[in-house]
C-alpha cells in the first residue's frame, strides 16, 4: 500500500509543503511562465508601487503607457497564475498583487 504525497498548500509564511506532487510542479511551472514575460513583470512591478498594491486597467494603462487590450490580456494571464487577484467595484475591476503567492514562489526557488 502506498500513501499519496500531501498536496501543495500555501502557509502563513508563504512556504509550500508537498513539493514532490505533480500538481505542485505544474502550478509552479504555470506561475514561472506567467513571470517570464517583460510586460507581465512590468505590470507586477507597477502594481507593487501602487497604494494597496492594486489598480484598475485604466490606471495601469496610464502608468505604463501600454494599450488597454494588451494590459487586459496580460492581467488575465497573471490572474490565472494566481499572481494577482481581481475585485469588481462598480464598473471597474481592480487587480491586486497576490504577495503571498509571489513570496511563496520565491521561497520555492530559493529553499534548499
* CB contact at 8 A, 16 and 24: yes
Mean model confidence pLDDT for the chain: 84
CATH code for the structural domain at 15-110:
1.10.10.10
Mean pLDDT of the 13-38 span: 77
Q: List the grid coordinates of 97.
A: 498583487
For the cut 50, the answer to whether the pLDDT of residue 66 exceeds it is yes
Question: How far is 34 from 82, CA to CA, in rounded Å?
Answer: 9
- Model confidence pLDDT, tens digit, residues 40-60: 999 999 999 999 999 999 999
Amino acid at each position: 500500500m502506498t500513501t499519496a504525497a500531501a498536496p501543495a498548500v500555501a502557509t502563513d509564511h508563504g512556504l509550500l509543503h508537498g513539493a514532490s506532487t505533480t500538481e505542485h510542479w505544474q502550478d509552479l511551472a504555470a506561475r514561472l511562465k506567467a513571470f517570464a514575460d517583460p510586460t507581465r513583470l512590468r505590470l507586477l512591478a507597477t502594481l507593487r508601487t501602487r497604494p494597496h498594491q492594486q489598480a484598475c486597467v485604466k490606471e495601469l494603462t496610464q502608468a505604463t503607457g501600454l494599450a488597454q487590450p494588451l494590459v487586459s490580456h496580460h492581467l488575465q494571464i497573471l490572474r490565472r497564475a494566481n499572481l494577482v487577484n481581481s475585485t469588481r467595484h462598480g464598473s471597474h475591476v481592480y487587480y491586486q498583487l497576490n504577495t503571498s503567492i509571489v513570496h511563496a514562489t520565491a521561497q520555492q526557488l530559493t529553499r534548499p
